[in-house]
Amino acid sequence: MTREKGVYSVQAVVKAIELLEALAQEESNLTLAVLAKKLELSRNKSFRLLATLEDKGLVERNESTGAYSLGVQAFEMAQHILKSANLLRLAHPVMEELAHKLGEAIYLTVVSDDEVLFLDMVDSFQQVRAVDLVGKRFPFFTNAAGKVIKSVGSIDLFGRVGKRRSEEESQELVKELEEIRRKGVAVDFGGLGEGICAVAVVIRDYAGKVVGALTLLAPSFRMLPERLDGEVIPALLVAGEQLSMKFGYSRAYA
């Protein structure tokens, strides 16, 4: 379905974006009066917009001068956007090479709140393929990508698991995550759907911090133990390290 640009625009949202754009473009801080004039709004409406954005940390007000500027949250959001764009740019060629080498679908997965988000994919040319999961989110501990990301975190991260699992289940998961951390790779069968195998390795940045995971998805019948151990896992580990090095990672941080 197509629609004419602007038909469903919410005026308050449009004005809020224009306000942020005005603050981003100006070198000096702007007062309420100046912003109201720029936005062609009353001072009252401008104040309410600014107050809402200030509550969210997107705008800051100087108590002495009354002038407004972009808030810390606005800069943090910009950093997240730039980081995601940079990750996609660097990851896609590595994903293409890996998909061509292994003949399976390769995904880029990242942390999104308490879930993993399947952000990008290079598909395989196999007649039987795994499902397309781009844009899908899954809880961390239900899949290989989430487990490999969490496995390299501090032990404190595991404590939250116990809130939704029995003590025995929590202990089993901790053991599994420790084994994943030791091997550097997570493998699961059925976590993302019946008949699906997922294999995942982490991607790190210059400080050793995890920025995401490379994840292979394939029908389980193609992931026999000898292929997993002899071909798939070694290739993923190499690709993960290559991509991490593009972000400045060194084994010295491991």
CA separation for the pair 149, 154 (Å, rounded)? 11
Strand segments (E) across 166-207: 186-189, 196-204
Q: For the whole prediction, is pTM greater than 0.85?
A: no
CA distances from 74 to 24, 60, 66, 207 (A): 10, 10, 19, 24
| One domain for residues 103 and 63 | no
- CATH, residue 32: 1.10.10.10
Residue 28 CB neighbour total at 10 angstroms: 8
| One domain for residues 154 and 205 | yes
Give the pLDDT of residue 2. 45
Range of the domain at 41: 11-70
pLDDT, one tens digit for every residue, the chain (254 residues)? 444 444 444 677 888 888 888 887 755 678 888 888 888 888 888 888 888 888 888 888 888 888 888 877 776 666 555 455 677 788 888 889 999 999 999 998 888 767 888 888 888 776 655 567 787 888 888 899 999 998 886 544 555 544 556 666 778 888 888 888 999 999 999 888 889 999 999 998 888 888 889 999 999 999 999 999 999 999 999 999 988 888 888 765 44
CA distances from 158 to 62, 147, 178 (A): 42, 11, 10
Give the pLDDT of residue 88. 74
CA distances from 46 to 9, 52, 70, 237 (A): 18, 10, 15, 53
Last residue of a domain, one of 19, 36, 70: 70
Give the pLDDT of residue 238. 94
Number of domains the chain contains: 2
| One domain for residues 177 and 85 | yes
